[in-house]
Homo-oligomer: A and B are copies of this chain.
Amino acid sequence: MILKLNFENEIPIYVQLRNQIVMAIAHGDLSQGEKLPTIRNLAEDLGINNMTVNKAYAMLKQEGFISIDRRHGAKVNPILTPDFEFKEKLEDDLSLVISEAEIRGMKKDEFMKICENIFDSMKKLKPQEK
């Protein structure tokens, strides 16, 4: 799993880390049930503080993406089912992103194509795992 952090970015490190892990899960780089690195290891590897990693893991746990087991550390949860709250947030987020695309002159077709490509880039590893 490759995680890239940008320390000059205004997005907090723990949020960047959370985002990278979310994408790693979706792309299959981290599969269901797989163990995440320990807080200490990851912090050292990335050259950041334990508590920063801790915060990212706590966020992922709270969102239901991972579970933290006192005995064996953190592991990836199974896929959830989409709830109403998430759909609302998703529509709000997309509304903004699509507005920007619209203003910047991007056609609907091109936008949809990009979405498809991203979707298709995910979980390529899943079938191979069987």
Contacts and interface: CB of A to CB of B under 8 A. Distances in A.
Copies of this chain, count: 4
Contact of A8 (B13, B68, B90, B99): B68
A34 B71 CA distance: 32
List the 8 shortest-distance A-B pairs measured between CB atoms, nearest first.
A26-B99, A8-B67, A26-B102, A23-B99, A108-B119, A82-B106, A81-B105, A79-B105
Interface residues of A, number: 52
Contacts of A115: 94, 98, 111-112, 115
Contacts of A39: none
A7 B74 CA distance: 11
A103 B82 CA distance: 9
Contacts of A102: 26, 119, 122-123
A90 to B, nearest CB: 6
A59 to B, nearest CB: 11
A115 to B, nearest CB: 6
